[in-house]
Amino acid sequence: MISRRRAVALVFGALPAAWLLRASPSYADQAFQRFLPLLVDLDGWQGKKPDGMTMEMPNASMTTATRDYQHGGAQLHASVIIGAAAAGALAATQSAMNIQTSDGHMITSTINGLSVTKTFNISQKSGAIMVALGPNALFSVSYNGLTEDDALPLAQKFDWKALQAAAQKQ
């Protein structure tokens, strides 16, 4: 049997959580939700359900939206990241850094008016395409089992300008 003291503690402990649930925006109103429709189906690929997360703390926030795709042995992971993590990842894009080695490369260029960094590992047949959507927002497509020439057209099937516009909404 539960003691009266324990029952009171449980009720009063649950009140702040209930208040937060009522006071916080609903799941449908979370910031990541605006990106989910932009993580489109890719012809010939099996796409998992898109998902996301919004985390807000004093002086910091982060939003991510992701979707995974599979085509035979090839895999593709599309994600939008907003916040300090995106700003850090964009350092190479902002500095226009280019690196070429016998194992692969990292090349920064402008595509469709946006700064893009492409990385590729030749032996692993893997890489990533990072598109700067703003100073602290990026769209990334990482892939395995594809050539860079196959991955870029897939990344361009996503509407980068719509992703950029969604990233600028508060």
Nearest-angstrom CA–CA distance, 35 and 97: 28
pLDDT value of residue 12 = 38
Q: Give the DSSP letter string of 73-131.
A: TEEEEEEEEEEHHHHHHTHHHHTT--EE-SSEEEEEEEETTEEEEEEEETTTTEEEEEE
pLDDT in tens, the chain (170 residues): 444 444 334 433 443 443 333 334 444 468 899 999 999 999 999 999 999 998 888 888 899 999 999 999 999 999 999 998 888 888 877 777 788 999 999 999 999 999 999 999 998 999 999 999 999 999 999 999 999 999 999 999 999 999 999 999 85
pTM: 0.79
E strand or H helix at 143 = strand 137-144
Q: Positive or negative CA dihedral for 132, 136, 138, 142?
A: positive
pLDDT value of residue 1 = 44
pLDDT value of residue 5 = 46
Nearest-angstrom CA–CA distance, 66 and 146: 19
The CA angle 119-125-131, to the nearest 5 degrees, is 30
